[in-house]
Copies of this chain bind each other. A is one copy, B any other.
Amino acid sequence: MKVVRYAENPLVQPSDIEPHLEQSEVIGAFNAGTAKLRNETILLLRVAERPVSSDNEHVSAVWYDPDAQGLRTLEFNLNDEALDFRDSRVIRYKNKSQWSYLTSVSYLRVARSTDGRHFIVDKEPLLFPNNRYEAFGVEDPRITQIEGRFYITYSVVSTEGVGVGLAETEDFVTVRRHGLIFPPENKDVVLFPERVNGKFFALHRPVPSGVGQPEVWIAQSDNLEHWGNHQHLIGLREGRWDSRRMGAGAVPIKTDKGWLEIYHGADHNDRYCMGALLLDVNNPAKVIARSDEPILTPTEPYETEGFFGNVVFSCGAVVEDDVVKLYYGVADTAMACAQFSLREILDSLTYVEPGAE
């Protein structure tokens, strides 16, 4: 399959972005949802900012405090015996099983382009943490245009867990929240762009604590806010590129063969790739075909090196006839794009035996 990465990659990177917070640095601009708004290509970036510490002996945590209704930062001394700093993303008390703070906060910020290759980043965030469920940030948005409005599904992170929020915008200037549509632990939620047999559908990725795996499920709704009839859709595959973790990526694309979903999978080396899945056009809970091999793997330096290397992670594509412009986060750091032929992706899939999924 022909994969044409843009020569301009990475298209957006942390150094392109003015920090929104005071005394802060942008460490990531990645995993963006995509939309077409009139003649503009929109990337709704996940921007991660980290407070700059006052000296080398301290590290800072930052979060939204729902009681104070504002951001708080706290400095921790790297010599504090009660704390565990081994994972630079989190601050953990040694006597607790879960982390207590994150060292960066993620929020959603719009980048705009007229050619899909050169982006200008908005001065203000579109969606910044403003409630207890978003206390440690909002992440990895997907955007689905339904009946003229843009619906944003995004991960919310707090000490209550990682769940999924729904928000709505018409112009990518103002946004309205619709609360949590999936409780913890869940993420990677993608809405289908139209009703199927009268119902809205969403792909989601719960993470059970006990038995069960981080796999892709599908749910139904009448109104996009309330979801039910949950069904397991696809599972991890031992020995393959999607053996350890997976989740929906881009908004499903309606084709003459069915709904084409481009999803991510990670293997036991934490290498994140993108592959594809074909679902029945009249019953998206039915899997027709799937990628044996990924359609995109991390090979370029901007994909293999960064905050978390060996990651390509798409939250959205722009589709024009046979051309799929797959926008994707690289190494949890920046944004890139690669072009595919829709027909070539469909032809690359392996058809599933009835009853095998």
A72-105 to B contact mask, C-beta < 8 Å, 1/0 = 0000000000000000000000000011000000
Contacts of A355 in B (CB 8 A): 67
Contact of A212 among B185, B204, B210 (CB under 8 A): B185
Interface-central residue, A204, A211, A230, by most chain B CB under 10 Å: A211
Contact (Cβ within 8 A) B212 A180: no
Contact of A210 among B162, B222, B229 (CB under 8 A): B162
Quick check: is A30 within 8 A (CB to CB) of the other chain?
Answer: no
A15-51 to B contact mask, C-beta < 8 Å, 1/0 = 0000000000000000000000000000000000000
User: What size tier do the contact residues of chain A reach?
Assistant: 35 or more
Give A182 Cβ to nearest chain B Cβ, in Å. Answer: 7
Contact (Cβ within 8 A) A226 B230: no
Query: CA separation between A180 and B220, bound complex, in Å?
Result: 11
A319-335 to B contact mask, C-beta < 8 Å, 1/0 = 00000000000000000
- Asked if A179 meets B209 with Cβ closer than 8 Å, knowing A222-B223, A355-B67, the reply is no
Interface-central residue, A182, A207, A212, A355, by most chain B CB under 10 Å: A212
Give A119 Cβ to nearest chain B Cβ, in Å. Answer: 32
Contacts of A133 in B (CB 8 A): 232
Quick check: is A301 within 8 A (CB to CB) of the other chain?
Answer: no
Query: CA separation between A114 and B207, bound complex, in Å?
Result: 44
Contacts of A158 in B (CB 8 A): 211
Give A38 Cβ to nearest chain B Cβ, in Å. Answer: 31
Quick check: is A57 within 8 A (CB to CB) of the other chain?
Answer: no
Quick check: is A219 within 8 A (CB to CB) of the other chain?
Answer: yes
Quick check: is A124 within 8 A (CB to CB) of the other chain?
Answer: no
Contact (Cβ within 8 A) A162 B227: no
Contact (Cβ within 8 A) B228 A227: yes
Query: CA separation between A239 and B346, bound complex, in Å?
Result: 57
Contacts of A219 in B (CB 8 A): 183
A180-218 to B contact mask, C-beta < 8 Å, 1/0 = 111111100000000000000000101111111011010
Quick check: is A170 within 8 A (CB to CB) of the other chain?
Answer: no
Quick check: is A350 within 8 A (CB to CB) of the other chain?
Answer: no
Contact (Cβ within 8 A) A226 B220: yes
Q: Which A residues fall within an 8 A CB radius of B?
A: 67, 98-99, 132-133, 157-163, 178-186, 204, 206-212, 214-215, 217, 219-223, 225-232, 355
User: What are 10 of the A-B contact pairs (CB < 8 Å)?
Assistant: A162-B212, A163-B230, A178-B229, A179-B230, A181-B228, A182-B230, A183-B206, A185-B208, A207-B208, A222-B226
